[in-house]
């Protein structure tokens, strides 16, 4: 040992037993155990894993076919609840004659592992992250273009808007008028908020509708009504139920406004959009939408061309705002509302509308793309309740009339008895909302199915997509059926997820190394000013 090399422990002490830890506590405080020593041989626990997990993982890792098994489950190795499929795979020639047949019984575990594909991070973080990344690239392609057959879109103007629901009663809220320079806004905001409800009156139920607190970001009172009996729970679940129809009518009205604008200037305009929904703490949704304005080429109606320069951002904004103001209708009648329908319209606070990559604004392509994509992995978790489908039994448990969320679920169940509102029962676990997490125009960008196909091609060609042959894939016939869900043992899940985590770390390290080698990044052209 050289003089410049420090020993791992003092030379005058040993490392065995509790006495050594006590003697070296002053010299090596960071090496002192925070809990008492654990003897693995005594109870079988290893690094927090119980004996059965350790035994099943050790048995799998000691199997001579372990490398083959690990490669077999690689596609679903990071999934929390993979789907196991069993059956046969047939390969035919160009004339339809059977050339070969592969049975899953000859594969490891007698099944094919495939990811569950759940988009919710609370259910499967790995599949949700994959869904988020696909959505990110889908949105990026719709704004930037110049990939996957899309033309460059730098000359197109776009706006980002947030459309909210009306008020159904006063709730505890947190409003920060001025954020600090280093504030992360929603994620861990510690800025000083305003007083919740400094003024208020006493409601007919004897509850004073005021709150003098300054709620923290994680306060459980946020989103809760000041008076549970005054709050319009039925109106809220009906609005959630009608929100997809309200959006459909709004986007149709936007088309009318754009046609009117185009006739004024003698041009043809087309709008393309993508939207996602987000649950507020009070249990009602609001939409985040990105709308892009395109032109029209009569010689090639399917082509994506930039809008005429005569149309400015302000004109586009006024047309969109007019569409949201004008759109309102009455829902189907219901006995609970005096055999009348509910008035369905957007909130009174108006649109939060911002121009993307406009001169003098801070809203750029990367911010908007990441902001929208992160919401596709979320659902009702923000409300503090995450459920599966509600049935006659679970509604008695979760439909507690003494809580805000319980009344929302109970309102969905009670109103769902009517034929026109039967979908409320199906979507009671989402407080009446049954729309898809993300919807878009066909010509806005590519589809998620296209992105999944590209990933499949990359995997099957082992990184050489130019060797892909569509005709050969049509000759492969899958006769697979559902076998089971999940890993066979907890040890299998531990080994597979560990391998996937190491692969992700290696992938990220490669990306960082590549970024360091690039001398200059390609400048992203902004959207039209």
Following DSSP, what letter does each residue of 107-158 receive, concatenated? SGGGSEEE------TTT-HHHHHHHHHHHHHHHHHHHHB-STTPPB-TT-EE
CA-nearest of 242, 228, 226, 433 to 337 is 242
Contacts of 357 (CB under 8 A, 6+ apart): 158, 363, 364, 365, 526, 527
Per-residue confidence (pLDDT) for residue 254, from 0 to 100: 94
Distances (CA, A) of 86 to 103, 112, 163, 176, 182: 8, 6, 46, 55, 53
Per-residue confidence (pLDDT) for residue 321, from 0 to 100: 93
Asked if residues 76 and 82 have their Cβ atoms less than 8 Å apart, the reply is yes
What sign does the dihedral 469-470-471-476 (CA atoms) show? positive
pLDDT in tens, the chain (529 residues): 444 433 333 343 344 444 444 444 454 444 445 454 555 555 666 655 667 777 777 778 887 888 888 888 888 888 888 999 999 988 888 777 888 888 888 888 888 888 888 888 888 888 888 888 888 888 888 888 888 888 888 888 889 999 999 999 899 988 888 777 767 665 567 788 888 888 888 889 888 888 888 888 888 888 889 899 999 999 999 999 999 999 999 999 999 999 999 999 989 899 999 999 999 889 999 999 999 998 888 888 888 888 888 889 999 999 999 999 999 999 999 999 988 999 999 988 778 888 887 776 667 777 788 888 888 888 887 887 877 888 888 888 888 888 999 999 999 999 998 888 999 999 999 999 988 888 999 888 888 888 888 888 887 787 777 777 777 667 788 888 998 888 888 888 888 888 888 777 777 777 777 777 765 554 445 555 4
Per-residue confidence (pLDDT) for residue 232, from 0 to 100: 93
Backbone angles phi, psi at 49, to 5 degrees: -105, 140
- Report the distance separating Cα 50 and Cα 183, nearest Å: 41
Per-residue confidence (pLDDT) for residue 47, from 0 to 100: 59
Contacts of 447 (CB under 8 A, 6+ apart): 138
**What is the SS3 assignment for 18?**
helix
3-state helix/strand/coil string of 224-258 = CECCCCCCCHHHHHHHHHHHHHHHHHHHHHHHHHH
pTM for this model (two decimals): 0.79
- Report the distance separating Cα 117 and Cα 485, nearest Å: 12
- Report the distance separating Cα 448 and Cα 131, nearest Å: 9
Per-residue confidence (pLDDT) for residue 519, from 0 to 100: 55
- Report the distance separating Cα 427 and Cα 390, nearest Å: 8
- The per-residue b/e assignment along 30-65, b for 16 or more CB within 10 angstroms, e otherwise, is eeeeeeeeeeeeeeeeeeebeeebbebbeebeeeee
**Residues facing residue 84 across a β-bridge:** 113, 484
What sign does the dihedral 327-329-331-337 (CA atoms) show? positive
């Amino acid at each position: 040992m050289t003089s410049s090399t420090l020993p791992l422990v003092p030379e005058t002490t040993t490392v065995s037993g509790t006495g050594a830890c006590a003697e070296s506590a002053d010299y090596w405080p960071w090496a002192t155990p925070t809990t008492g020593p654990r003897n693995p041989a005594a109870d079988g626990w290893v690094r927090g894993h119980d004996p059965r997990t350790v035994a099943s993982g050790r048995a799998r890792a000691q199997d001579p076919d372990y490398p083959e098994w690990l490669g077999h489950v690689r596609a679903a190795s990071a999934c929390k609840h993979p789907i196991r499929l069993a059956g046969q795979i047939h390969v035919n020639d160009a004339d339809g004659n059977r050339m070969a047949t592969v049975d899953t019984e000859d594969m490891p575990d007698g099944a094919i592992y495939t990811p569950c594909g759940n988009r919710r991070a609370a259910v499967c973080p790995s599949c949700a992250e994959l869904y988020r990344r696909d959505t990110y690239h889908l949105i990026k392609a719709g704004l930037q273009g110049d990939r996957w057959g899309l033309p460059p879109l730098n000359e197109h103007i776009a706006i980002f808007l947030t459309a909210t629901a009306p008020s159904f009663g006063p709730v505890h809220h947190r409003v920060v008028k001025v954020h600090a320079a280093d504030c992360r806004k929603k994620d861990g905001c510690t800025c000083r908020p305003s007083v919740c409800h400094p003024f208020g009156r006493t409601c007919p139920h004897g509850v004073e509708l005021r709150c003098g607190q300054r709620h923290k970001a994680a306060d459980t009172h946020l989103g809760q009504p000041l008076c549970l009996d005054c709050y319009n729970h039925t109106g809220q679940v009906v609005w959630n139920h009608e929100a997809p129809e309200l959006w459909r009518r709004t986007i149709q009205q936007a088309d009318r406004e754009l046609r009117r604008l185009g006739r004024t200037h003698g041009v043809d305009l087309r709008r393309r959009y993508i939207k996602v929904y987000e649950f507020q703490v009070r249990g009602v949704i609001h939409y985040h939408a990105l709308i892009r304005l395109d032109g029209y080429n009569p010689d090639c109606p399917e082509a994506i061309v930039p809008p005429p320069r005569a149309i400015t951002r302000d004109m586009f904004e006024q047309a969109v705002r007019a569409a949201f103001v004008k759109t309102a209708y009455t829902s189907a009648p219901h006995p609970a509302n005096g055999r009348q329908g509910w008035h369905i319209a957007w909130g009174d606070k108006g649109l939060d509308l911002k121009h993307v990559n406009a001169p003098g604004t801070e809203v750029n392509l990367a911010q908007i793309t990441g902001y929208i994509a992160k919401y596709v992995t979320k659902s009702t978790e923000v409300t503090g309740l995450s459920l599966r489908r509600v049935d006659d039994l679970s509604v008695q448990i979760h439909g507690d009339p003494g809580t805000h969320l319980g009344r929302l679920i109970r309102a969905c169940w009670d109103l769902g008895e009517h034929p026109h509102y039967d979908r409320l029962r199906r979507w009671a676990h989402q407080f009446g909302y049954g729309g898809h997490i993300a919807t878009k125009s066909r010509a806005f960008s590519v589809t998620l199915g296209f992105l999944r196909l590209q990933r499949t091609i990359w995997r099957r060609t082992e990184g050489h997509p130019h060797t892909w042959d569509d005709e050969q894939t049509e000759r492969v016939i899958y006769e697979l059926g559902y076998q089971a869900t999940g890993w066979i043992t907890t040890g299998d899940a531990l080994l597979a997820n560990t391998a996937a985590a190491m692969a992700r770390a290696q992938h990220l390290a490669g990306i960082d190394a590549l970024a360091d080698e690039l001398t200059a990044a390609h400048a992203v052209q902004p959207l039209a000013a």
